[in-house]
Amino acid sequence: MMIRAISLGEKLVLLGRFELEAMMKAVEKYKVTGMPVSPPLIVALVKSELTRKYDLSSLRSLGCGGAPLGRDIAERFKRKFPGVDIVQGYGLTESTGPAAVTSGPEEMVRYGSVGRISENMEAKIVDPSTGEALPPGKNGELWLRGPVIMKGYVENEKATAETLDQEGWLKTGDLCYIDPEGFFYIVDRLKELIKYKAYQVPPVELEQILQSNPDVVDAAVVPFPDEDAGEIPMAFIVRKPGSNLNEAQSH
């Protein structure tokens, strides 16, 4: 964001500490047109009554990344803010920039997709246990290769060898699939999958179901050890202020 602002001569508004209402005040005061956001912030904007208090009409686009964005939340956001585009993308520190991004109106409405692979990148979906490439529609680990991929971790040969193979492929650790048209969908972090009996459960899918409840502002699902199942999902829920949701209902 800093490099973009300098190169394009844009004004960059920074908050000393992020708070939802402080962000809205800044948007209104400085007529902010675009922001980088994560899915939890989009959820907060959808559900917060504070949005009625501030003029957010200057917003034109949100660059969303960091986690998968559910279709339900994206569509609810667009109903509430029809003039604001959601530009989804994907990248890592190790890829030194975006590896995929939605571009143009037709791609932006593919909610849940992080777009097509960048022109300077190669990508493949592989079986993480065998390294074999998988066909479209199959979940596997996303591997990336290209001129902007890092050379390795400084003074950490072990971590470098675990992350980069001999052919220069970066093992992202993200569970992903690609559709027949070349659009990528991030399912979850590979290491965060909950091993329930013989199943691998992506926490983000459960989080999106919980977040669809109007009384739930945010939710996080983690594995909890279980003698019979190995692991079971356990959810932490943030209730909407004034909500009547009680402990029994949350179960």
- Residues 55-98 have pLDDT tens digits of 999 999 999 988 778 888 899 999 999 999 999 999 999 998 88
Of 240, 247, 191, 185, nearest in space to 214 by CA: 240
pTM: 0.75
Residues 134-179 have pLDDT tens digits of 999 999 999 999 999 999 999 999 999 999 999 999 999 999 999 9
Pairing of strands 216-226, 230-239: antiparallel
CA distance 112 to 83: 19
| Rama region for 168: left / alpha / beta (φ>0; ψ in -120 to 50; rest) | left
In the predicted structure, residue 251 carries a pLDDT above the cut 60: no
Q: Which domains does the chain have, with CATH numbers?
A: 1-83 (3.40.50.980), 193-251 (3.30.300.30)
